[in-house]
Amino acid sequence: MHEYSVTKNIIDICIEEAKKSEAKIIKEITLVIGELSYFADESVLMYFNLLGEGTILENAALVFKKQPIELQCKVCGQKFHKQGNIFECTKCKGPGVITGNSGNEFYIESMEIE
Amino acid sequence: MEVKVMKNIMHANERLAYENRELFKQNHITVFNIMASPGAGKTSVILKIIEALKEVTAIGVIEGDIASSIDAEKIEKAGIPVVQINTSGGCHLDANMIKLAAQDLKLKKNSLLFIENVGNLVCPSAFDLGENIKMVIASVPEGHDKPHKYISMFEAADVVVLNKTDLLPYIDFDKDSFYKGIRLLNENVPVFEISCRTQDGIKALISWIEDRMFK
């Protein structure tokens, strides 16, 4: 969803952070993306390659750390991740509920710079 | 060399949303972000709230649509200050749009502000506007599977309204499935079943809103 503006945001934030660290090149950017954050990797990669041309992150690799939704079983308390669209507990088949803010992660974790 | 960044990708919108939220808080304005598919009843619900509460408190409305001022005209006819945002293709409102609209609206202190978002069950949930309450409106004709399909929206909701309950006799709407879908994502979210047409359930929703107004 909105991969163009999301990619532009990523690039702007990384270039600003790189200036603070006096980086000459950004080699790698690690993104943490929760399962509830709609995000099409391939579209982001495409825009990244286009928008990054001629900048210090021109050849940077994008690493997507996907965070699954964490669920907790209402019956036995087991914490688990959903299997496809099934929210049933992997231990006892009881109903699971989403824990905390799990699945909403959407941030730049770190960069590898030179 | 590794550099820790730890910055939200939506950082710019988050910052503006924070500023909006602070401004609303300082002025004791309770803000609702109303989200739903096109046609679910966002404007109708707002009009029902206006009908019930306009003698009790000052109300302002920000209308968001891709085009037209059809909804703003309805609110204006009800005697309530309103600003229409036309996004010209944008599928959601963002914090910057609300910042500018709120300035135009000249909101009163100790009031209610209803933001009617663009009709869309996908994108709006990702854009904090600075609201206090995210109200998600589903409607019976849309079917009972919406919470199963649009998980981000229903997970983010602070309150869910099921509108057009007067159509239940005519539509195969599995309430158990609807509630199951919601509870998996959002265990304790209040759900109000209403019909804007017959007035059914409106009182309970109004009561809930009144309890949440800044005192």
**ipTM, two decimals:** 0.87
Q: pLDDT by residue (tens digit) across B53-83?
A: 999 999 999 999 999 999 999 999 999 999 9
Sheet-wide strand order for A106-113: A61-67, A26-34, A106-113, B2-8
Question: Distance (Å, rounded) from C-alpha B132 to C-alpha B211?
Answer: 13
Cβ contacts (< 8 Å) between A107 and chain B: which residues? Answer: 5-9
Asked whether B192 and B205 are in contact (CB, 8 A), the reply is yes
CB contact under 8 A, B184 and A103: no
Q: What is the pLDDT of residue B152?
A: 93
- Minimum CA–CA partner of A17 in chain B: B5
Question: Which residue bears the tokens 């603070």?
Answer: A20
Judged by a CB distance cut-off of 8 A, whether residue A108 touches chain B is yes
Joined together, the tokens standing for residue B133 give: 């309450």
- d(CA B154, CA B125) in angstroms, rounded, equals 9
Taking 80 as the threshold, does the pLDDT of residue A49 lie above it?
A: yes
Q: What is the mean pLDDT of residues A86-95?
A: 88
Searching chain B, which residue's CA lies closest to the CA of residue A24? B1
Average pLDDT over residues B135-160: 96
Chain A 2-61, CB below 8 Å of chain B: which residues? 2, 6, 9-10, 13-14, 17-18, 21, 23, 31, 36-38
Question: Cβ separation of B3 and A111 shorter than 8 Å?
Answer: yes
On whether any CB of chain B is under 8 Å from the CB of A96, the answer is: yes
**For B82-133, how does the pLDDT look when each residue is reduced to its tens digit (9 = 90+)?**
999 999 888 999 999 999 999 999 889 999 999 999 999 999 999 999 999 9
Is the predicted pLDDT of residue A1 greater than 70, yes or no? no
C-alpha span between B20 and B42 (Å, rounded)? 22
- A84: alpha, beta or left? (left if phi > 0; alpha if psi -120 to 50): left
Give residue-wise pLDDT tens across range B193-213.
999 999 999 999 999 999 999
Convert the pLDDT of each residue in B159-184 to its tens digit. Answer: 999 999 999 999 999 999 999 999 98
The mean of the pLDDT values for chain A is 91
Q: What is the DSSP letter of B77?
A: H
Q: Give the pLDDT confidence score for residue A45 in this predicted structure.
A: 92
**Smallest CA–CA separation between A30 and chain B, in Å?**
9
3-state secondary structure of A13: helix
Partners of A109 on chain B (C-beta within 8 Å) are 4-6
The whole-number pLDDT of residue B148 equals: 92
The pLDDT of residue A98 is above 90: no
Q: What percentage of chain B has pLDDT greater than the value 70?
A: 100
Residue B31, pLDDT above cutoff 80: yes
The per-residue DSSP string of B101-129 comes to: HHHHHTPPSSEEEEEE--S-SSGGGG---
Answer whether B10 touches A (CB < 8 Å): yes
pLDDT mean across residues, chain B: 96
- B4 and A109 within 8 Å at the Cβ level: the answer is yes
- Give yes or no for residue B215 having a pLDDT over 80: no
Is pLDDT at B13 greater than 70 in this prediction?
A: yes
Per DSSP, the three-state class of B30 is strand
Contacts of A9 in chain B (CB under 8 A): 9-12
Q: Are A36 and B152 in contact (CB under 8 A)?
A: yes
Distance from CA of A69 to the nearest CA of B (A): 10
Q: Distance (Å, rounded) from C-alpha B128 to C-alpha B126?
A: 6
Report residue A57's pLDDT band, with 50, 70 and 90 as the boundaries. Answer: very high
pLDDT of residue A76: 95
- Whether chain A has a CB inside 8 Å of the CB on B176: the answer is no
B120 CB neighbours in chain A (<8 A) are none
Mean pLDDT score, A94-110 = 89
pLDDT of A10 reads 95
Question: What pLDDT does residue A82 have?
Answer: 85
Q: Where are the alpha helices (DSSP H) in chain B?
A: 11-26, 42-53, 70-77, 95-105, 146-149, 151-156, 175-185, 202-211
Contact between A34 and A67 under an 8 Å Cβ cutoff? The reply is yes
